[in-house]
Structure 1
Amino acid sequence: MEPLSPPSATLDTSSHPVCLRIAGDWTLAHYANLRRQSQSLRTQYGDDAVADLSQLGRLDTAGASLLAELLGAQRLTRCTAQLPEANRALLNTVYTSVENYCIPVREPERNALLMLLERIGCAVGTLWRDTLQLLGFAGVILQTLMRRALQPHRWRWTPVVAHIEQTGLDAAPIVALLTFLVGAVVAFLGATVLADFGATIFTVDLVAFSFLREFAVLLTAILMAGRTASAFTAQIGSMKANEEIDAIRTLGLNPIELLVLPRVLALLISLPLLTFVAMLCGMVGGAVVCALSLDIPPAMFLSLLQTDIGVQHLLVGLVKAPFFAFLIAAIGCLEGFKVSGSAESVGAHTTSAVVQSIFVVIVLDAVAALYFMEMGW
């Protein structure tokens, strides 16, 4: 490889008009030196000066940018005819890029309060759109369910049973363990507080009321929102990303009937059963704490349950389970259908399904609790 020729830019004032002579290799290796020469020469000649590039050696992008700044548009147009085709094309390209480049205009700073209000407005708008979509999707599910109710030969029992196993049977151990531990904690806290009033016997009522009416169904629904809604979104979202749902429609099949109804029916069956298991396990956890810490034997615990706790408390807890199940399944399936086609979209909508399901379950449970309290049930 030939060594680099030292570059130079000299101003010949003896000629008329003044001539700017360019020589050597204008490359990145000499950029700093060339930059200083260019800045010192730029103010020493006028518009009538000419340029001589006959001694120019090698040229790269860095050198071409300095030449473009030094010579300007008119001189560059007149003198590039002396150059080889490659150098001429490089100079013209670099000059065009430099001329077309403009410093981005900095956007003015916006008021923080206005930005906060804008984000709140966008969040409210998104919540409203998601609510309308959920209501519309729930209507489509109910319409399809009613249309197929009188056609038992169209029911797909195999996927229903498979989803009951996934959402119900496989979730039973974690639901039982969690509610048992929460029941024990509630009983221990109740006994600690009530001991100051000499009313530790009412710990039995506290555990029974809390689990029959609220804790069992709420904890089970939250677990299903995190476990089942995310699974439904991931399954349907993966099918959407792989264009399997488009293939189902191409075959003349209804994705709602094929994919959504089995999941909704499975959760409608599983969640009430899991809620009943959660009630039993929660009260068993409370009974264990009562037996070990409060000297309340299991026989006495059951006797107090029969005496103080009416069956309506059990029904209040169980009646909420089907509504929670329907909403959790609908949100999980709807978010799966929203997937756009990438793995990132699957993850984002899976997260959204869990958050929305938990939010809806808690809001609906709060509304139901207020309603039942006002009705005296």
Structure 2
Amino acid sequence: MLRKDTIKHRGVGRLLSLINAEQNGRMKFVDGYFSSTNEYYLERSPALFNVVYQFYMNGQIHQPSHLCPIDILDELAYWGCDDDEDSDSQDDETPNLFKHLYMGELRKEIWNIVEEPASSRKAQIFATLSVLFVLISILGLILGSIPEFQIPVKKPNSTEVIDNEPHPALTYMEYGCIVWFTIEYGLKMSVSPHRKRTFLQLLNVIDLMAIVPFFVEMFLFLIGINTEQLRDLKGAFLVIRILRVLRVIRVLKLGRYSSGLQMFGKTLKASFRSLTMMACVVATGVIFFSTLVYFLEKDEPGSQFYSIPAACWWCIVTMTTVDLTPITVPGKLVATGAIACGVLVLALPITIITTSNATHIDVASFECQTAINRVD
């Protein structure tokens, strides 16, 4: 039930015209009228009208997963409702955040360029350059691992080669990408109206982790420590290797500009409980079959199942493909059970994830269609 004040507050739609009209004028907005109960009849779907009801209650339009986006758009068009008001309020929220800040207008403009790729031509160019630098950085990382694009590193005052490093051209290309990533992150943090909230956002954490390894290595170099000199210190060298491995995080930066990757991330998030359940079932099966095959195979000559952890690796691989093969007949029977278990356990969540992904695709299509209709 909607109160008159609630309908008037929204100030849009067929319902507003209905309550503002006189008794005779209301008949053109309805399909019937029962004088005995003083009720108006409209031949509409109650399920679809619930979307309209939510709009009048909170000013937002949501798409239930069981409803067709096209039917919802038709229903909204019938009632004269759209999410312009909600979109405008959301669009107005960002300017209000910058309104009382120092150089608020400039900060808002920079923020839109950095964070809203579709807001302007400048923002689109900035987003395109960001994607280009990410791709260049990834390409440099890949080429730097190929021997043909590496040069030998020798010990000081010696001809002994201790390692290979990427060609200097790739290193300079890396420097250029780091400069861009640093400018991008620095602009974002400097103009943000809520720096703490911005800092803790997942995509911004990824942006930070993409540049941290470079600055750690640069800091070590500035204080006189060459990373190659840390090779004799296993712990320190391990840290350096971890920092270099973290460079691959730049691949995740593409998620900021890919709606498909963002949708996949939402799908995984929505399916988290199902994936957790699958992981528990897989872990149970791995431990069970690994223990069985270990005790059945460990005493056989040439057996590679020398421990339960080694058998665990075999079991994990066997659930998806084939790695080690048991020798004894009981061991092969256990392997058959592990393979069958793997097929069942890994196949069950696929339906859940597919359904969740289809739901997010419908939502994205609904939002896109709504935006197109608003423009038209």
Same fold flag (TM > 0.5): no
Higher relative contact order (CA 8 A, sep 6+): 1
TM-score (structure 1 length as normaliser):
0.18
Quick check: which one's helix share is greater?
Answer: 1
TM-score (structure 2 length as normaliser):
0.18
